[in-house]
Amino acid sequence: MRIDVRALSIPDVKHIKTSRVADSRGSFSETYVQPIFAAHGLDYNFVQENESVSERAGTVRGLHFQEPPFDQAKLVRVLRGRIVDVAVDLRQWSSTFGRHIAIELTDHDDEQILIPAGFAHGFCTLEPNTVVLYKVDKIYSSAHDRGVSWSDPDLNVKWPVAAKDAILSEKDRALPAFKCLTPSFA
């Protein structure tokens, strides 16, 4: 397996590109090999894998995070479709606190994004029937599940969908503003 790892504008968030081998049958790609990731400084023990299916373009999921001790690092990839993936730094001690990254991921670029613990995460689908797969290094805990409003103007995320057209869960519609969050990552 060959991977290319680069830091994004928030250096702790990594963009990962894997290699794909194609022949007359189709293609094959190793998307995660723990020792190779660890050799690139990405040493995580992923313990749960999640898949979301969004039927319509303009579906927004997020911005979600879990508080310690169940704070999660995530390795995100798109199996079908396209998304704009967003991570917001919630680590109060960080020089990038309150800033975000937004990156488009597709099903054909062999790309992933690694988001460490201490970030809120969400995405918006750009195509119908989009499937997103992500690994996490801590199990889901409903008691530690939190979020921040995806459309909070203080975050200044340029989403590819207008607020009136976004498809959201009721839970995500009720998430608090960034300035109302209780510090979780001091």
Q: What is the pLDDT of residues 9-59, one digit of tens each?
A: 999 999 999 999 999 999 999 999 999 999 999 999 999 999 999 999 999
User: For 170, which DSSP code?
Assistant: H
Compute the residue count for the chain.
186
User: Would the pLDDT of 144 be above 90?
Assistant: yes
Query: Taking all residues of the chain, what is their mean pLDDT, rounded to a whole number?
Result: 96
User: Would the pLDDT of 127 be above 90?
Assistant: yes
Give the CB-side neighbour count of residue 1, counting CA atoms within 13 A.
20
Q: With contact defined as beta carbons under 8 Å apart, do 111 and 13 qualify?
A: no
pLDDT at position 179, please? 96
Q: The pTM is what?
A: 0.95
Looking at the DSSP assignment, which residues form a beta bridge with residue 125? 83
Average pLDDT over residues 111-115: 97
Q: What is the dihedral of CA 35, 141, 90, 38, to 10 degrees?
A: 0
Per the structure block, which two tokens stand in for 94?
A: 């960080």
User: Would the pLDDT of 69 be above 90?
Assistant: yes
Q: Which structural domains are found in the chain, ordered by start?
A: 44-180 (2.60.120.10)
Nearest to 16 by CA among 131, 103, 138: 103
* Active-site annotation, residues: 64, 134
Identify the band that residue 109 occupies on the pLDDT scale cut at 50, 70 and 90: confident
